[in-house]
Amino acid sequence: MAPSPDKVTPLRPRRPCPECGKPSARETYPFCSERCKNIDLNRWLSGSYVLPGAEEESGSDDAPPSERE
């Protein structure tokens, strides 16, 4: 006996789109549409999501650590 379609558990829970807050779509998960997916991709490619790193020491990188001091 097959389960009824309304009692099927989805593979992923529906979550709000991280861009606009609408419910996510299966084809573009976790986004609601191709538009929101592309907006997020553009932010990654343009460097908007870059995390600041630690500043490097101002020494010669070619010399071994024992010779820098």
Note the pLDDT tens digit of each residue in 3-60.
Answer: 565 677 667 677 899 999 999 998 999 999 999 999 999 999 999 988 888 888 765 5
Contact, 19 vs 9, CB < 8 A?
no
Domain ranges of the chain: 14-47
Give dist(CA 57, CA 52) in Å, integer: 16
Q: Is residue 31 classed exposed, middle or buried when 0-12, 13-18 and 19+ CB atoms within 10 A define those classes? A: buried
